[in-house]
Amino acid sequence: MARVKQRARRRATRRNSSAAEATPSTPNHKPSPARSPRTTPQAERDGERQRKKRRNRPGTVALREIRKYQKSFNLLMPAAPFIRLVKEISHFYAPRVARWKAEALVALQEDEYSECLPLF
């Protein structure tokens, strides 16, 4: 069976009609005295509050960095000139091959990077 929200219950107080008319609708209470402002350091008053440094759970930053570096690859040669060079060379040796998968070009570029890295 579905659960149904329940309304908040009101306290039932019975008063005389004359007493209800005599009392104002707003409660009669004394206003609280003005509080003195707290003494704060000068830096906080100037708006230069220092926030508490946010902490991550152990391993969260490491996983974030792993994802970041797996997405990006900073290689020696930019991608666009490398792709043009690969297509030019492949057209020279095999004119029929006109299409390359993006993953294949990335793999070639990473292989080129690993081959050229020891030379530097």
Decide if 68 is inside a domain: no
- In angstroms, the CA 3 to CA 100 distance is 59
Residue 76 makes CB contacts below 8 A (sequence gap 6+) with 112, 113, 116, 117
Range of the domain at 115: 75-119
- Total domains present in the chain: 1
Decide if 5 is inside a domain: no
The DSSP secondary-structure symbol of 68 reads: H
The DSSP secondary-structure symbol of 53 reads: P
pLDDT in the model for residue 29:
61
DSSP string, 8-50: PPPP-----HHHHHHS-SS---PPPPPPPPPP--HHHHTT-PP
Torsion sign over Cα 15, 19, 22, 27: negative
Decide if 115 is inside a domain: yes
End-to-end alpha carbon distance in the chain: 73
The DSSP secondary-structure symbol of 76 reads: S
Supply 65's token pair: 């960095």
Decide if 47 is inside a domain: no
Decide if 101 is inside a domain: yes
Q: Tens of pLDDT along 17-49?
A: 555 555 556 666 666 666 655 655 565 555 667
Q: Tens of pLDDT along 67-114?
A: 988 887 677 788 899 999 999 999 999 999 889 999 999 899 989 888
Decide if 23 is inside a domain: no
pLDDT in the model for residue 85:
94
Decide if 96 is inside a domain: yes
Whether pTM exceeds 0.85: no
pLDDT in the model for residue 63:
95
